[in-house]
Amino acid sequence: MDIKTVGVVGAGQMGNGIAHVFALAGFDVTMTDISPEALTASVDKIAANLDRQVTREKMTQAERDAAMSRITTTGTLTDLAKLDLVIEAATEKEAVKHAIFAELLPHLGEQTILTSNTSSISITRLASQTDRPERFMGFHFMNPVPVMQLVELIRGIATDNATYRSLEAVVEKLGKTSASAEDFPAFIVNRILMPMINEAIYTLYEGVGSVQSIDTSLKLGANHPMGPLELADFIGLDTCLAIMNVLHDGLADTKYRPCPLLTKYVEAGWLGRKTDRGFYDYRGETPVPTR
């Protein structure tokens, strides 16, 4: 299938990044969100990011303007129904995703490929609640989308080969690299990354090291660009907890038990950068460790 039109459900951090790269690659993109303010902020962020690329001479002003002209927004979810490809990039809660698909399904065109940007939830289970499990896939972008080169492609048990090949071609057109992952909890990247972050939180919880010493140790001792606690704040502690719960529930292994300190931070509403507090406090000029 030759995909030309793309719908993005959710105008948050992932949604606006996905819209950015698709528009830049020549696709016509329609974004939707339940919040009009989120849609406005998302378009403004995409424009600012593209402006930065023009300033750095990564693209021309004409390329920037052409990309922006390909992005439209709507507050009506069903406006995405006749597009070639729909990417759900809403919050990492399965009930929310099911509700989105249930509203879309009666209006979807027969050819539309339906995908989820979920970072951990079963693709087979999501697909089973739709009328097109053969044209349903996991389409997992990394954050921040314009910078990160990888896209995980996850087939459900019923996904057909034509759908997989279509999305593989889309990833190539975006200038990114795809990796095929089997449909098991958290797929590849988060199956490996999240337990490392969770173990860093246990290391903090048990008093083995401070926030600063843990992050410094991994940056300088393992050559990581960001420390694990800094990275957790960037991802969002609520997202980290949700993925750890999927791993723990789906694989029934105690090694995936979320650290109680992670749960406590989420209960406090300290979710990282997006709430200005997590393992660091971001309310001042320089981030300050909170423990």
The structure tokens listed for 8 are 């993005």
Say what percent of the chain tops pLDDT 70.
100
State yes or no: 45 annotated in a binding site: no
Domain residue extents for the chain? 5-182, 191-289
- Using a 10 angstrom Cβ sphere, with 0-12 exposed, 13-18 middle and 19 or more buried, the burial of residue 170 is buried
Averaged pLDDT, 192-198: 98
Annotation says 190 is catalytic = yes
Quick: pLDDT tens for 20-41. 999 999 999 999 999 999 999 9
Annotation says 20 is catalytic = no
The pair phi, psi for residue 171, each rounded to 5°, is -60, -40
pLDDT above 80 for 114 = yes
Q: Which CATH architecture group holds 191-289?
A: Orthogonal Bundle (1.10)
Say what percent of the chain tops pLDDT 90.
97
C-alpha span between 258 and 21 (Å, rounded): 33
State yes or no: 11 annotated in a binding site: yes
Cis-peptide, bond into residue 144, ω within 30° of zero: yes
pTM strictly above 0.85: yes
Annotation says 166 is catalytic = no
pLDDT above 90 for 166 = yes
Quick: pLDDT tens for 206-241. 999 999 999 999 999 999 999 999 999 999 999 999
Instruction: Label residue 192 by pLDDT band (50, 70, 90).
Output: very high
Q: What's the order of all strands across the beta sheet hosting 71-74?
A: 71-74, 28-32, 5-9, 85-88, 113-116, 136-141, 150-155, 177-181
State yes or no: 143 annotated in a binding site: yes
5-182 CATH fold: Rossmann fold (3.40.50)
Q: Give the pairing type, strands 28-32 and 5-9.
A: parallel
pLDDT at 283: 97
Catalytic, out of 16, 42, 119, 198: 119
The pair phi, psi for residue 230, each rounded to 5°, is -60, -40
231 close to 215: Cβ distance less than 8 angstroms: no
C-alpha span between 47 and 209 (Å, rounded): 41
Averaged pLDDT, 118-122: 92
Annotation says 119 is catalytic = yes
Averaged pLDDT, 118-142: 96
150 close to 189: Cβ distance less than 8 angstroms: yes
